[in-house]
Amino acid sequence: MIVLILSFGAMWALAAAVPAAELQYPGRGLLAIAIMLAGIVVVASGLREFRRHQTTVDPTKPEAASAVVTTGIYRRSRNPMYLGMLLTLVAWGVYLSSPIAALGPVMFFAYMNRFQIAPEERALAKHFGAPYQDYLRSVRRWI
């Protein structure tokens, strides 16, 4: 969550630092809202499945997971909560209308892959073994 908040702030700062690059276009507010709502739905879907399977939603403690969740949105994405967060950043970028702010979602994506998702996957593979390895092979990381 901290990375998400820092990304929002960095995007705002970048957009403010280079205001001449702003791209105004009709409907950007509605487009931003639509993308934001999609992101919220994706996050909520992931949370709902974790709660349904009574497993932890705390990404800092993958060893506390009690189940490999492969139902619902997890049939399509191994990381729907991170995907939803990425969508909210894209929505913020659309709202800011600054091409330089597009660096925010790109950097979030890169950071999450390297420093959050990869270590989580290693820990979960160690914790769950073959069932998780099968899941890794059958479902894409993001979409």
pLDDT tens, residue by residue, 79-107:
999 999 999 999 999 999 988 999 999 99
Q: What mean pLDDT is predicted for residues 28-51?
A: 97
Q: What is the pLDDT of residues 59-85, one digit of tens each?
A: 989 989 999 999 999 999 999 999 999
Confidence of residue 113 (pLDDT cuts 50, 70, 90): very high
Kindly list the domain boundaries of the chain, sorted by start residue. 25-138
Contacts 24+ apart (CB under 8 A), 62-69: 62/120, 62/123, 62/124, 62/127, 63/123, 63/127, 65/124, 65/127, 65/128, 68/124, 68/128, 68/131, 68/132, 68/135
pLDDT at 84: 98
Q: Is the pLDDT of residue 131 over 80?
A: yes
pLDDT at 20: 72
Q: Is the pLDDT of residue 23 over 80?
A: no
pTM of the model: 0.94
